[in-house]
Amino acid sequence: MPRLIFILPLLLFGTIAAYFAVGLTKDPRILPSALIDKPAPEFKLPALHDGGSGLAKSDLGGEVKLVNVFASWCAPCKVEHPVLMLFSERNIAPLYGINYKDKKADATAWLKQLGDPYQRIGQDLSGRAGIDWGVYGVPETYVIDREGRIRYRHVGPVLPETLENTILPLIEELKK
């Protein structure tokens, strides 16, 4: 029994080392959303395109949907754009956009040049809707379930791997 006390420092070290080992593999810039499993926030945004559809809380729910926060000034948004285009072409789920703190002319030109994968785009000029969603860095992508709850948030560009390995399986599961 008294011998056990000598193993204690080793155990303690092991525990701390394990915590550090796991902790160091995580990206500290990626924060968990405070809204996971909660209903999407109350928001109502005017349409970006003239005569197009805006985006509000009431547009979410019913079926599984993707909400993507983007801006023409945001470089990583350009990186994920082809992935979103592909997603949109595959008709897996509706993709809605929140155009975050952008100029209307810039955003429309950007979409005209690269293609527009969104069924609806709400224009968030002040960034207030962004704050309601807990947005802290564009691009951000949210998976919304049938009940209109936020089930997943991805911060940073959606890469093909993110789409295939995380977002698509989740959509499949939520559709069941």
Partner 1 sequence: MRALFLCLAILLAPMTEANAVLPDEVLADPLLEKRARALSKNIRCLVCQNQSIDDSNADLARDLRILVRERLVVGDSDSAVLDYLIVRYGDFIMLKPPFKGSTYILWFGPLIVFVLAIIGLTIFFRRRRVQMAEVGDTSPRLSSEERDRLARLLDKDEGPA
Q: Which residues contact 112 (CB under 8 A, 6 or more apart)?
A: none
**Toward partner 1, which CB reaches closer, 2 or 51?**
2
Nearest to 46 by CA among 120, 119, 112: 120
**Toward partner 1, which CB reaches closer, 5 or 113?**
5
- Alpha-carbon distances, residue 136 vs 5, 14, 19, 156 (angstroms): 47, 35, 27, 10
**Toward partner 1, which CB reaches closer, 16 or 86?**
16
Rounded Cα distance between 72 and 81, Å, is 11
Q: Which residues pair with 1 in a beta bridge?
A: none
**Toward partner 1, which CB reaches closer, 128 or 175?**
128
Q: How far is the CB of 32 from partner 1 (least distance, A)?
A: 7
Q: How far is the CB of 92 from partner 1 (least distance, A)?
A: 28
Q: How far is the CB of 150 from partner 1 (least distance, A)?
A: 12
Q: Give me the residues that bind partner 1 (CB under 8 A), please.
A: 28-29, 31-35, 41, 101, 126-128, 131-134, 136-137
CA 105 to chain centre: 24
Q: How far is the CB of 128 from partner 1 (least distance, A)?
A: 8
